[in-house]
Amino acid sequence: MLKVTKLTKSYGAVQVIHGIDFTVPEGECYALLGPSGCGKTTTLRCVAGLETASSGRIEISGQVVSDSERGIFVPVHERPIGMVFQSYAIWPHLNVFENVAYPLRVQRPRVAKSEIRERVNSVLNTVGMLKMADRSATQLSGGQQQRVALARALVREPKLLLLDEPLSNLDAQLRITMRNELADMIQRVGVTALFVTHDQAEAFVLADRMAVMNGGFIAQEGSPREIYRIPKDPFIAEFLGSANILRGRVGELAPGGRVALHIHGGPDLTLAYETPVSAGSEVDLVLRPERLLLSAEKPEIDTNVFEGRIRKLSFQGNVTECEIDIEGGLTLRAVSALDDDLVEGMPVWVRAPHATVIPAKQ
Ligand code: ADP
Ligand code: MG
C-alpha cells in the first residue's frame, strides 16, 4: 500500500533524512518511532506531499506519487490519504458534522448532499460521535476532538491514513484510553496507517510493525515484540524501555546456542543468545528489569545468576523498583510486583532467564 524507497530530505545544506526504505502492506498499522528531531514528521510530510523529497521514490497504492529523478510529484490533495495531526485543527466555528463534512464539500466533482449526509453519519458512528453531530466544536473534550479529527481524516475513505503524534495533546490518563480506542478504530476501519510517535508505549499498542528512527536513519525495523526483545543496539534497547546494559567479552561458544560470557566488573555467565556473536568479541548484554527474578535463596538453576545485595527499593504502586549491587561493582535494576519479602540491605539472588546479547559497537 505504501512503499518508500531511498527517501532523502535536505533543508538547505542540512540533510535530515538519509535514504530510508520501508513498506507498509495493506491493512497494517506502521509506526515511525524515535526521539524528537529524528525526522519522523519530515518523513510523514514527504509521504503526504506537504514536503518535496530531495531524492527517492514514494508509491501509494501502486501509484508513484513522488520520484525526484523522474520529476513526478503528485500534490497533497490528489494523494489518496487522510491526515491527523498533533493539533487536531478542528474548526471552532463549525459543528461536529460540518467539520467532518468539510473534505467532502470541497471535493470536485461535487458529492451529492444526501451522500455527504450518509457518509458523515457513517464515519461519526464509527468513531462513536454520531450523537454529538450537532455539538459545537468548542464544546468538545480533547478525546472527542481527537475522534472528530479522525472522522474527518477518514471521511474520504483514504487508502492511507497518516497520523502525526495524534495523542500528544491529551493528558496522561486520557492518552492511555485514547490509544486503545484509536487502535480499535483503526482496526475496525481496516485502513492502512502510518503513525508517527516518540512514545514507545503508543507504538507498541498501535503498530503491527514499526521502524525505530535515529538521526534521519531507520535504526531497526520489526514487530514491537521483536524489537523490544532483540534490540540491535543499546540505543534502541534503552529507547524502548528500561534496560540494564552490561558490557562483556565472549569466551567460548558452547553447544545449543549458549555462550560463556565474562561481564566486565561482574561475574562469568553462561547465556543463551539469539544474535550471532563470535568468540573473543566484545558484546553488550541487555537485561530488562521486569525479566529479572529475585530470590532470597540461591536458585536451583545456576546459569545466568548474579549474587548481590539490595541497595535501594522504590515503591511505585504496582511494582517496586530495586537497585541491586552485584559483586564486582555492577548495579542492576529490577522491578518486582511481589515485593513483600524485599528489604534494603538484604542479600539477594538475581536470575535472568532471558537476556539479549548484541555485538558491541566499538
Ligand atoms: P521529528 O518529527 O522526529 O521530531 P522532524 O522531522 O520534525 O523530527 O525534524 C527533523 C529535523 O529536521 C530536525 O533537526 C528539524 O530541526 C529539521 N527540520 C524540520 N523541518 C525543517 C524546516 N522546515 N527547515 C529546516 N529544518 C527543518
Ligand atoms: Mg514530529
Q: Which residue's entry shows cell 512514545?
A: 199
Radius of gyration of the chain from its Cα atoms, rounded to whole angstroms: 25
Is it true that the peptide bond before 109 is cis, omega within 30 degrees of 0?
Answer: yes
User: Three-class SS of residue 174?
Assistant: helix
- For residue 275, is it left (φ>0), alpha (ψ between -120 and 50) or beta? beta
Question: CB under 8 Å to 241, separation ≥6 — which residues?
Answer: 200, 228, 288
What's phi and psi for 41, nearest 5 deg? -65, -40
| Architecture of the domain made up of 242-359 | Beta Barrel (2.40)
CA distance 79 to 273: 45
Ligand 1 atom at shortest distance from the alpha carbon of 45: 6
Phi and psi at residue 48, in whole multiples of 5°? -70, -30
Cα 168 to ligand 1 centroid, rounded to whole Å: 17
**Quick one: which atom of ligand 1 is closest to the CA of 36?**
4
- β-sheet bridge partners, residue 220: 212
Residue 362 has pLDDT above 70, yes or no: no
pLDDT 10s digits, 41-71: 999 999 999 999 999 999 999 999 999 999 9
* CA gap 178, 130 in Å, rounded: 18
Tens digit of each residue's pLDDT (9 = 90 or more) over 285-337: 999 999 999 998 888 887 788 899 999 999 988 889 999 999 778 899 999 88
Instruction: Label residue 86 by pLDDT band (50, 70, 90).
Output: confident
ipTM: 0.99
Q: How far apart are CA 36 and CA 57, in angstroms?
A: 24
Alpha helices (runs of H) in the chain, residue ranges in sequence order: 40-48, 96-105, 113-126, 142-154, 172-189, 200-206, 224-229, 234-239
Confidence of residue 219 (pLDDT cuts 50, 70, 90): very high
Helix, coil or strand: residue 212: strand
What is the whole-number distance in angstroms between the Cα of residue 66 and the centre of ligand 1?
A: 20
- Give the domain ranges of the chain: 2-234, 242-359
pLDDT tens for each residue of 115-135 = 999 999 999 999 999 999 999
Instruction: Identify the CA nearest to 324 among candidates 302, 296, 349.
Output: 349
> Percent of the chain having pLDDT more than 90?
73
Q: Whose CA is nearest to atom 1 of ligand 1?
A: 37
210 Cα–ligand 2 center, Å: 16
- pTM strictly above 0.90: yes
Q: What average pLDDT does range 181-192 have in this prediction?
A: 92
2-234 maps to CATH 3.40.630.10: no
